[in-house]
Amino acid sequence: METADLTAPDLYINRELAFLEFNRRVLEQAKKDEVPLLERLRFLCISSSNLDEFFEIRVAGLKQQEALGGTHRGTDNLTPSEQLRRIAELTHELVAEQYRVMNDVLFPLLDAEGIRFRRRASWDKRQRQWLKQYFNRELEPILTPIGLDPAHPFPRPLNKSLSFIVTLDGKDAFGRSSGMAIVQAPRALPRMVRLPDTHAEAPHEFVFLSSIIHAHVDELFAGMKATGCYQFRVTRNSDLLLDEEEVDDLLRAMEGELPSRRFGDAVRMELAEECPGPVERFLQGQFDLDDMDVYSCNGPVNLMRLMQIPDLVDRPDLKYPGFTPRVSRRIQRATDVFSAIREGDVLLHHPFDSFAPVVDFLRQAASDPSVLAIRQTLYRTGADSAVVKALVDAASNGKEVLVVIELRARFDEAANIELATHLQEAGAQVVYGVVGYKTHAKMCMVIRREGRKLVRYVHLGTGNYHARTARLYTDYGLFTCDDAFGQDVQKVFKQLTTMGRAGRLKKMLQSPFTLHSTMLAHIETEIENAGNGLPARVIAKMNSLVEPGVIQALYRASQAGVSIDLVVRGMCALRPGVAGVSENIRVFSVIGRFLEHTRVFYFENASEDGGQPRVYLSSADWMQRNFFDRVETCFPIEEERLRRAVTRDLELYLADSTKWELKPDGTYEQRPETGKRVAAQELLLETLPD
C-alpha cells in the first residue's frame, strides 16, 4: 500500500482563508433568530472588526511580501499573490453579505422594535432643522475641508478614519476651482447621533454622522456647490517594525514607533457604493490600490459604529440575559484565598466561575504582612484594572513586586506602556520579557512566609488578567500551592528577568523549549497504544491549529487508528476526512455568546495497568509562533476531580448540537439540530445559581 505524503499541499488549508471562514461563522450568528436582536447586531460588528485587524496585519504582510517579489510558499503552496487574489474574492463576498444582513435583516427587525436609523431622505422638517442646528453648533467649527490644488495636496487620512471626497462646482473667494475636496471627520466626533425624544418618531432614533455631514457639506464651501459627497475609509498597515537587535530600550522604541501605525501604507479602501468610477479611480491612485482593494459599501463604511447601539439602547429583552458567576464553595467558606488553596488545587472556568477570586488573591497578598513578594505577567490589561491596583498597593506596602509586561501585545501597546510607567512609579520592578520572543504566558506567584518556611502560591491561566474579558471569554485558571509548580514558575520568572536558563521544569511545559516536543511525544504515545490494541484518543481545544509538525503527527495518529477530536474556534489548517490520511479526525468550531479561548489538550494515555489520562491547560495555541516565537506555559491538571471536570467540559463541547464541522474542502457545515438542543455555553450557564 502506497504511503501518503503528509507534506502534500492539498492536505493543508491556507491559514488566511481559514480565518475568513471563521469570520463567516461569526457573521452567521447575526442571522440566527435564537440570538437576541441586539446581540445579532454585535456579531455583525465583530465580523467587521475582525476584518479590520485581518487587513491591518495579515493582508498588509502579504502585500509587503508581494512588493518585495516574495515567492515563499507555505504548506498549502500558495504564493503571496495567489493568497491576495483569493482573499479579495472571498472578502468581497463577505462584505456584500454584511451589508445585506444589516440593511435587509437587522435594520427592519430593529425598526419593528422601535430602534431606527434615519436616512437623509426620510428626515422630516423638524428633524432637518434640529440636525442643521447640530451641524452648525457641533460639527462645522471642527471640520476642516481641504480643496485640492497645488497648494493643498491630498492629505493622508489616519488609519480607519472617516473621510469624504467632495466634488465641487464653482469658484472660491480666490477664484480657484479645483473641482474636488477632502473632508476628514475628527475621531472626537460621535459616529452616531441620537435624535432627542421631542424630534424622534421611535423610542430610539439615530442618525449617522456621515449622513449629517453629507446633508450639509455645501455649507463648508461658501460660494461653491457640492455636486457629490462620498464617504471612504482607508485601512493601513499597522504592524510595528522594530529591529529588536538594535534597540537599547524597548519601551522608548515602542513609543517612537506607535505613531507610524496611523500612517502606514494603505492596504484597503472602503467606499460608498454610489461613488462614480472617475472619483473611485482618483482615490485608488492616491492610495496606490488595485481594483480588488476597493470594497463597495451600501451603508456606513465602518460597521463598528453600530457597536455602541446595544449600550445606548435600554432593552434587556433584546440582549443576552445577565448572570452571576459562581464562586467556589471552598473559597467562600475559607477565611482567605490562601487557606482555600492549601486544601487543594482550585480550578476556575471563566466566565461561569467568577474572576473575583483572582483579584482577591492579589488584594489579600498586597495587605498580608506574611506576603514577601509577588511575581506577575501581564499581556492585555488596563492601567485602571483591579489587578493593577492590587499590584500598586502591594508595592506601596513594601512587597517585592515584579511585573513582566509584554509591550508588544498587538493594539494594546500604548496601554501597556502606560501600565508599565504606572507600576514603576509605584515602586514595582518592571521588565519587558525577552528580546525576540513575546511573553504570552499567564502566571502569578505570591511568596508567603508560613512559620519557618516560604510557601509559593501560584495562579496559572489560559487567558489574560483582565476582569472584563473574563466575563466575555471562556478561560481556565488554576490555583495551587504545589511546591513543584511553585519551583517551576519561579524558574520561568528568573529566566525572564536574568537572561539565564530556567533549567528542567518538574511539571510545566514551556515554549519555546519543551511544549512542541512534548505534544509530539504524547501524540506518538497514542500512536503506539493504538498499534498495541489499547484505547487511543486525542482531544484538543484551542483557538488556532496551523503548525505543520503537529498536523503531520495528527495525520499519522489518524492513520494508526487514534480517535482525534479537535475543537478549534478559528483557523485550522488541518484537513479532516481525507481518505487514507485523516478519516479518524473530526474538527469542530463553537461560536456562541462567549468567545471560546480555552486551550485544553487531552491524551488518553492508556496502558495495560490502567494509566491515567493526561490533561493539560495552556496559554498557547498550536501555531508556529506559540511553539517557537513566544514564551508560553502549559500545565498538567493532576487532581483527578479537576481532571474529570475538564474532561466533562470537553465532552460537552463535542456533544454541542450548534457546533460547526469542518469538511475536507475547507468549508464548515452547521447541521440542522434534531432532537434536544445541546449548547455547551448555555448548559454551563444553567449550572450557575439563580
For the annotated catalytic residues, the residue numbers are 440
Asked if residues 374 and 362 have their Cβ atoms less than 8 Å apart, the reply is yes
What is the Cα–Cα distance from 426 to 249, expressed in whole angstroms?
A: 20
| Biggest CA pair distance of the chain | 94
DSSP per residue over 326-339, as a string? B--HHHHHSSSHHH
Per-residue 3-state assignment (H helix, E strand, C coil) for 340-392? HHHCCCEEEEECCECCHHHHHHHHHHHHCCCEEEEEEEECCCCCCCHHHHHHH
Are the beta carbons of 462 and 477 closer than 8 angstroms?
Answer: yes
Determine the Cα–Cα distance for residues 582 and 607; give it in Å rounded to an integer: 24
State the residue for C-alpha cell 502506497.
2
3-state secondary structure of 265: coil
* CB contact set of 178 (below 8 Å; sequence gap of 6+): 147, 148, 149, 152, 168
Cα 569 from Cα 204, distance rounded (Å)? 35
Q: Of 99, 453, 90, 585, whose CA–CA distance to 292 is shortest? A: 90
> How many residues in total does the chain contain?
690
∠ CA 374-375-377 to the nearest 5 degrees?
A: 140
Exposed, middle or buried by CB within 10 Å (0-12, 13-18, 19+), for 627?
buried
Pairing of strands 660-662, 443-450: unpaired
Q: What is the DSSP letter of 622?
A: B
What grid cell was written down for 455?
510557601
Chain-centroid distance of CA 205 in Å reads 31
Q: Which amino acid, residue 465?
A: Y
Classify each residue of 49-71 as buried b or exposed e, where b means 16 or more C-beta atoms within 10 Å of its C-beta.
bbbbebbbbbbbbbbbbbeeeee
Residue whose entry in the numeric block shows the C-alpha cell 492590587:
390
